[in-house]
Amino acid sequence: MQPVISRESQLRARWVRLRLAAVGFTGDIASVAAVRALRRVEPELSLFAAVQLQKEAVAHPE
């Protein structure tokens, strides 16, 4: 059984990819453009939160 933290992190990473796909983002997920796209689709995210989510998505490739 995987630790809960790892599973939650994987779920957040998947959510990030889905949200980026929703705005048609096809670039490098580790880029500044990815953070901008994520904040465009989820404007309530702070810059800090968007970067943290991006890091999780990079740490858990598909």
| pLDDT tens digit at each of 62 positions of the chain | 555 568 899 999 999 999 999 999 999 999 999 999 999 999 999 999 999 999 999 999 88
Q: How far apart, in whole angstroms, are the C-alpha atoms of residue 47 and residue 2?
A: 29
The span from the CA of 6 to the CA of 16, in Å, is: 15
Residues with Cβ within 8 Å of residue 62, at least 6 apart in sequence: 17
User: Residue 3: what pLDDT?
Assistant: 58
Its pTM surpasses 0.85: yes
